[in-house]
Amino acid sequence: MSIYQCPSPNASTNTCDVLKYLIVMLAVLWLISVGTERLGYNWQWYRVPRYIFTFEDGHLAAGPLILGLMVTLQISGISLLLSFAIGLTAALFRLSDSHAARFLARCYLEIIRNTPLMVQLFFIYFVLGPVLGIERFFSAVLALSLFEGAYTSEIFRSGIVSIQKGQWEAAYSLGLGRFDTYRYIIMPQAIRRILPPLTNQGISLIKDSALVSIIAVYDLTMQGQVIIAETFLTFELWFTIAAIYLAVTMTLSVLVNFLENHLSVQV
Partner 1 sequence: MIKVPKITLLDVVIMLVVTGILGYIGYRITVGIHYKWNWSAIPQYLFRIDKNNGGWTANLLLQGLFTTIRLSVWATLLATILGTVAGFFRISKSLFKRLLGRTFVELMRNTPPLVLIFIFYFFVSDQIMSFLGVDDFIRNTSERTQSVITFLFAPPRFFSAFISAAITVAIFEAAYITEIVRAGIQSIEKGQFEACNALGLSWRQQMQYVILPQAIQRILPPLAGQFISTIKDSAIVSVISIPELCFQGMELMAATYLTFECWITITVLYLTLTLSLSLAVERLEIFFRRSTA
Partner 2 sequence: MRIKPSSPEDIFAGVILAVITFFMVCFVSPVLAGDIQNKLVAESTIEQVMKRGVLKVGMSTFVPWAMNDKQGQLVGFEIDVAKRLAADLGVKVEFIPTKWAGVIPALLTGKFDVIIGGMGIRPDRNQKVNFSIPYDYTGQAIVANKKLAAGFKTLEDFNKPEVTIAARLGSTSVTAAKQFMPRAKLTLFDDESQAYQEVINGNAHAMVGSAPTPAFQALKYPETLFSPIEGTFTKEPNGFAVRKGDYDTINYFNNWITVVTAEGWLKEIKHYWFETKDWESSIQ
Residues engaged in binding partner 1 (CB under 8 A): 1-7, 9, 13-14, 16-18, 20-21, 24-25, 32, 35-36, 39, 96-101, 104, 110-111, 114-119, 122-123, 126-128, 130-133, 203, 206-211, 213-214, 221, 234-235, 238-239, 241-242, 245-246, 249-250, 253
Q: Cα separation of 119 and 116, whole Å?
A: 5
Residues 93 and 154: their CA atoms lie apart, in Å, by: 12
Question: Of all helices (H) and strands (E), which one includes residue 62?
Answer: strand 59-62
Residue 93, C-beta contacts closer than 8 angstroms, at least 6 positions apart = 101, 102, 104, 105
CA gyration radius, the chain = 24
253 binds, among partner 1, partner 2, none (CB under 5 to 8 A by kind): partner 1
For residues 95 and 179, give the distance between their C-alpha atoms in angstroms, rounded to a whole number: 13
Answer yes or no: are the C-beta atoms of 146 and 117 closer than 8 Å: no
Is 210 near partner 2 (CB under 8 A)? no
**Counting contacts by CB under 8 A, is residue 226 touching partner 2?**
yes
Comparing CB distances to partner 2, the nearer of 160 and 222 is 222
Residue (40 or 175) nearer to partner 2, CB: 40
How far is it, in rounded angstroms, from Cα 112 to Cα 51? 36
Give the side-chain half-sphere CA count within 13 A for 183. Answer: 5
Cα pseudo-dihedral 117, 121, 122, 127, rounded to 10: 130
Name the binder of 162 from partner 2, partner 1, none, CB < 5-8 A by kind.
none
Residues from 88 through 147 that contact partner 2 (CB under 8 A)? 126, 129-130, 135-136
Task: Tell me how crowded residue 218 is: count the other CB atoms within 10 A of its CB.
Answer: 18
Q: Minimum CB separation from partner 2 for residue 70, in Å?
A: 17
> 180 touches which of partner 1, partner 2, none (CB within 5 to 8 A by kind)?
none
If one asks whether residue 243 binds partner 2 (CB under 8 A), the answer comes out as no
CB of 227 to partner 2, least distance (A): 11
CA distance 84 to 150: 10
Which residue in 15, 234, 257, 264 binds partner 2 (CB under 8 A)?
A: 234
- Which 27-56 residues touch partner 2, going by CB under 8 A? 39-41
145 contact choice in partner 2, partner 1, none (CB below 5 to 8 Å, kind-dependent): none
Residues that bind partner 2 (CB under 8 A): 39-41, 126, 129-130, 135-136, 214, 216, 222, 225-226, 228-232, 234
